[in-house]
Structure 1
Amino acid sequence: MALMLRDGVISDELWEVLESVMPQDVGRPGRPWNDHRTTLEGIIWRFRTGSPWRDLPDAFGPYQSVWQRHRLWSTDGTYERMFAAVREQAGLGGDDVEAILSIDSTIVRAHQHAAGARRDSVTSDDTQDTGGRIELQEISGRARGAA
């Protein structure tokens, strides 16, 4: 099952570029890290599927470990070094990278309140509430002890 999950996520060619900039375990206190490649593939799987961290398949290791490594790499500059290494290897400039990493608005989902619906479109029986003003007033009324 692990092979099915990992198939085609990080090619051997890409891993050769990334492996050189990954943090080293030497001199670091505590337990040795899980395999960087497997962890990175877990991070990619999580963002590709949009799943919560706790739903990460066991093939990638404990979700807490994968999340902690993602958090560390976000703050210690590992991701920046990874992007720089790929840019250098591919001979890409800053504009080329922005074109590759751009977000296409046709696939980005907006919250239902950003869809342009009128605020007074809620029915009188409140069956169509979507978290707008009416629900907030009801909640605040309950908090004050109102019936």
Structure 2
Amino acid sequence: MVTRNPISRKDLTNQQWQQLQLMLPKPSPKGGRPANDHRKIINGILWILRTGAPWRDLPDRYGAWETVSGRFYAWRKRGLWQQILQQL
């Protein structure tokens, strides 16, 4: 039996995702392991922001907490969150 990760009712809707994905960096063309899905990562970040939980308590459906937090801090350092807020 195949089990799928449940989708939270508070995750990004398809409409929200379509608007947001255009503002995110494209995956790197470098070799190696493919990058985790931006949508899953952002839903994990939103879960942390909503709950106030520590990164280590991030549910598995959002991926490894180290990956999610790493992406959050890297994008913050690049100023991406500020750019997104200005565009929205």
Q: TM-score range by the shorter chain?
A: 0.7 to 0.9
Residue correspondences, number? 85
In the aligned structure 2, how far is the partner of 1:29 from the partner of 1:23? 17
Q: Which of 25, 28, 50 in structure 1 is aligned with 2:27? A: 25
Structure 1 runs, 4 residues or longer, greater than 4 Å off: none
Partner of 1:51: 53
* TM-score, scaled relative to structure 2: 0.82
Sequence identity, in percent?
Answer: 33
Gaps spanning 5+ residues in structure 2: where? Answer: none
Q: Which residue of 2 aligns with 1:2?
A: 5
2:41 is aligned to: 39
Q: Take 1:83 and 1:29, find their aligned partners in 2: how far apart are those partners?
A: 31
Unaligned runs of 5+ in 1: 87-147
Task: Give 1 or 2 for the bigger CA radius of gyration.
Answer: 1
Q: Shift of residue 21 of structure 1?
A: 1.0
TM-score (ref. length: structure 1): 0.52
Cα displacement string for residues 83-121 of structure 1 (whole angstroms, at most 9, x for unaligned residues): 1232xxxxxxxxxxxxxxxxxxxxxxxxxxxxxxxxxxx
Across the aligned residues of Structure 1 and Structure 2, the Cα RMSD in angstroms comes to 1.8
Change (3 A) 1:29 1:73: farther
Larger RCO of the pair (alpha carbons < 8 Å, separation 6+) = 2
